[in-house]
Amino acid sequence: MIYLDNAATTALSESARNAMEPYFSTQYGNPSSIYRFGQEARKAVEESRQSIAALLRVSPREIYFTGGGTESDNWALSSVVLERALKKEKSVHLITSTIEHPAVLRTCAFFESLGVKVSRIPVDQRGFLDLEALERALQEESSLQEESSLREREEHSFPSKSGEEAKKGASHCLVSVMAANNEIGTIENLKEIGHLAKKYGAVFHTDAVQAFGQIPLDIEEMQIDLLSASSHKIHGPKGVGLLYIRKGLKLSSFLHGGAQERGLRAGTENVPGIVGFAAAAKEAFSTMEERGRKKVALRDLFFKRLLEEIPGAKISGVNPAEAEGIGESPESPFLSSLHHRLPGNVHICLPGVEGESVLLLLDQKGICASSGSACASGSLEPSHVLLAIGKSHEEAYSGLRLSLEESLTEEELEYTVEAIKEAVEKLKQ
């Protein structure tokens, strides 16, 4: 089998498996119990929290364990909305992009159905957020909030606030933008997005599920308030993730019932999963640079061979003009255009065929790939990401995503290219 769907899930690493094993067999105590056996499990959870916090250069008290990235995204968005609602804020505004994961987009749609204002900022053909449109949305909201505050002060004879003070009080607004897109691999300019959010007093959340352990993330420099990550994308176990919550940011409890995770996320902690997550994260961060270089080389070779063998194929998230002369030199426009793309992401639109039909034929050849987000698998709708970057409906149905690991051999790569070529030719007959 050739496994090329690592953006969906990864194989459990040996280091994660070894770290988890005792907590399945001999050290199975409940971390909430006060006796020594339970406290040993509690110690393992807290040591894991410290380990991951150190990797992100944040305080352990800012790390909260969850059941995965989807839960973390839901918690981040839901808690901000609920917290503002409890404070009887007159308006809550969620700002996101058109290419987010369903965990964010569907949560936003749910709150929108309840009357919450939602703005979906467009992206360009590479998948980069329109920063000017983002600032306009933030400016509009800040102005509305300032006008509302002014009316209230006039009605109640309150002393006026300065513009800067008004901006600081606009925390009813949350910006949620994915660090790296799960389909086409675009790495967003989080530093600029974070700067804009901070400028207008908004809370900044990023879904970093695809980015965590794959590319550097500087929470302070990027001014991130909330960050979601998941274990099973970095060779850790399924069913565990985290939400980073910046100190001082007050969120409502997401799950009620117990005092776990400092009272914000009730339920007995998944001790083996948390320990495995920490072990996988430590390995991912320590090998990030080396793995990245290998995956970039494989990715670029994959693109080169696909374009050579499949006439009319188009790389998603790249200007077609930049793809000319691919691989001719390290300074080629094409290679430079991939600088802000996840190292192992290959996404291509295949002419005249449906991506899912290609997947079935690849499966017969022992190749695992995908046509987009695993959470949208089985959907009859075209990829919302491809539509958002300007692809036609036909192209959006034709997408194929290959997410590589550094262990892929060139022989396996060539076999896969040939299999894709054969599948396209067969489907066109």
Tokens of 301: 């070779």
Rounded to an integer, what distance in angstroms lies between the CA atom of residue 183 and that of residue 403? 9
Tokens of 144: 């509305």
On the CB side of 63, how many CA atoms lie within 13 Å of its CA?
A: 26
Number of helices followed by number of strands (H, E) in the chain: 16, 12
Residue 251's pLDDT is: 86
Structural contact between residues 226 and 62, judged by C-beta atoms closer than 8 angstroms: no
Q: Is 14-286 in CATH node 3.30.1490.20? A: no
- DSSP label at residue 179: S
Residue 267's pLDDT is: 93
Residue 323's pLDDT is: 57
The CATH H-level superfamily of 288-428 is Aspartate Aminotransferase, domain 1 (3.90.1150.10)
Specify the length of the chain in residues: 429
Q: Is 169 exposed, middle or buried (0-12, 13-18, 19+ CB in 10 A)?
A: middle
Rounded to an integer, what distance in angstroms lies between the CA atom of residue 315 and that of residue 307? 8
Average pLDDT estimate for 52-66: 98
Rounded to an integer, what distance in angstroms lies between the CA atom of residue 76 and that of residue 243? 8
Residue 146 confidence (pLDDT) above 90: no
* ∠ CA 189-137-387, rounded to 5°: 65
Residue 319 confidence (pLDDT) above 90: no
Residue 169's pLDDT is: 40
Residue 255's pLDDT is: 87
**Helices (H), ranges, 65-118:** 69-86, 102-113
Tokens of 420: 């894709």
The residue ranges of every structural domain in the chain are 14-286, 288-428
Give 371's pLDDT tier (boundaries 50, 70, 90): confident
DSSP codes, 318-365 = S-GGGGTTTTS-TT-HHHHHTTTB-TTEEEEEPTTS-HHHHHHHHHHT
Which residues neighbour 58 within 8 Å (Cβ) at sequence distance 6 or greater?
Answer: 219, 244
Of 314, 381, 398, nearest to 125 (Cα)?
Answer: 314
Name the catalytic one among 108, 173, 368, 375. Answer: 375
Residue 166's pLDDT is: 39
Q: What distances in angstroms separate CA 59 from CA 45, 53, 68, 225, 262, one per listed residue?
A: 15, 6, 20, 13, 14
3-state DSSP assignment of residue 226? strand
Specify whether the backbone of 366 is left (phi greater than 0), alpha (psi in -120 to 50) or beta.
Answer: left
Tokens of 271: 């001790």
- Tokens 């100190």, residue located: 247
Rounded to an integer, what distance in angstroms lies between the CA atom of residue 277 and that of residue 305? 35
Average pLDDT estimate for 396-425: 96
Annotation says 375 is catalytic: yes
Tokens of 13: 């690493």
- DSSP label at residue 158: P
Spatial strand order in the sheet of 93-97: 63-66, 241-245, 226-230, 203-207, 173-176, 93-97, 117-121
Residue 150 confidence (pLDDT) above 90: no
Rounded to an integer, what distance in angstroms lies between the CA atom of residue 288 and that of residue 86? 42
Rounded to an integer, what distance in angstroms lies between the CA atom of residue 190 and that of residue 194? 6
Rounded to an integer, what distance in angstroms lies between the CA atom of residue 16 and that of residue 150? 55
Give 231's pLDDT tier (boundaries 50, 70, 90): very high
Residue 309, amino acid: E
What's the mean pLDDT when you consider all of the chain?
88
Residue 419 confidence (pLDDT) above 60: yes
Average pLDDT estimate for 96-117: 95
Residue 321's pLDDT is: 59
Residue 380 confidence (pLDDT) above 80: no
Question: Roughly what angle, to the nearest 10 degrees, separates helices 355-364 and 410-428?
Answer: 120
Residue 375's pLDDT is: 55
pTM of the prediction?
A: 0.89
